[in-house]
Amino acid sequence: MLLDWDAEDLADKTGLNRETVFNIERGTVQARAGTIEKIVRTFRDGGIEFIPDEGVKRRSDSVTKLEGFRDFKFFMDQMYEAATEPYSYDGTKPICICNLDNSLFRKYMKDYHAVHVERLKKLEGLKIRSLAAEVDKNHVKGASYLEYRYLKELKAVIAPFYVFGDNFSIIDFDVQDPPKILMIHSPALAHSYRDQFDIMWKNASEAPPA
């Protein structure tokens, strides 16, 4: 009711058989744990939050302002959590990075930057797309999960941003220390910026700019 879905919509979005969904609704079958997990994940991706005492509600958009080392660590932890989710592997919600200067992240993340990189390397099959204006001399060496493409026009017109899970984040390095991150939890906004990123990605070059 909260999402205005019927059983057929849920079956389509989860990839389950329609009769399976009908039977679970009627209580005529005992669903497997993996099936329930798939249904719960689909509802969460649709914007539903599960709350105590078997309750549910629509998840509202939220804005989180981040600044300084502790907040940067929180941001990286949120990104890592998204990287462990199936949707980061199957292409449903790929992780996208645009116009980021790694040297600045290393500066403000300190030793935790290396910790973050090493744990990402251990996620077998993970792929993150990074769109850059030029070759970043401080890029993460040996990170097979990173795929780079180049678009010269980025540097002048696009502020650095991340898209992961249902989060869209703008990073402002053009301020006095420390820089700031605006993390917006919004499925609709994250979807919109992934579409924008995809357009730029298709127009970008796999070869470094001359």
Does residue 107 surpass a pLDDT of 70? yes
What's the token pair of residue 53?
A: 């005492």
CA dist., res. 154 & res. 201, Å (int): 11
Residue extents of the structural domains in the chain: 7-58, 62-203
Please state at what angle helix 112-121 crosses helix 68-83, rounded to 10 degrees: 0
pTM over 0.85: no
- pLDDT tens-digit readout, 175-193: 566 778 999 998 889 999 9
| Secondary structure of residue 152 in the 3-state scheme | coil
Tell me if the domain spanning 62-203 has CATH number 3.30.870.10.
yes
* Bridge pairing between strands 95-98 and 161-164: antiparallel
**Contact between 11 and 42 (Cβ < 8 Å):** no
E strands in 72-179: 95-98, 128-132, 146-150, 161-164, 167-172
Average pLDDT of the chain is 84
Sheet order of strands, 128-132 included: 62-67, 180-185, 167-172, 161-164, 95-98, 128-132, 146-150
Give the pLDDT band of residue 37 (cuts 50, 70, 90). Answer: confident
Average pLDDT over residues 117-146: 82
User: What is the widest separation between alpha-carbon atoms in the chain?
Assistant: 64
Residues 46, 59: Cα–Cα separation, whole Å: 9
The answer for residues whose C-beta is within 8 angstroms of residue 90's C-beta and 6 or more apart is none
Q: How far apart are CA 197 and CA 149, in angstroms?
A: 11
- Asked whether the predicted pLDDT for residue 103 surpasses 70, the reply is yes
List, for residues 192-206, the tens digit of each pLDDT value: 999 999 999 999 998
- pLDDT for the residue 32: 86
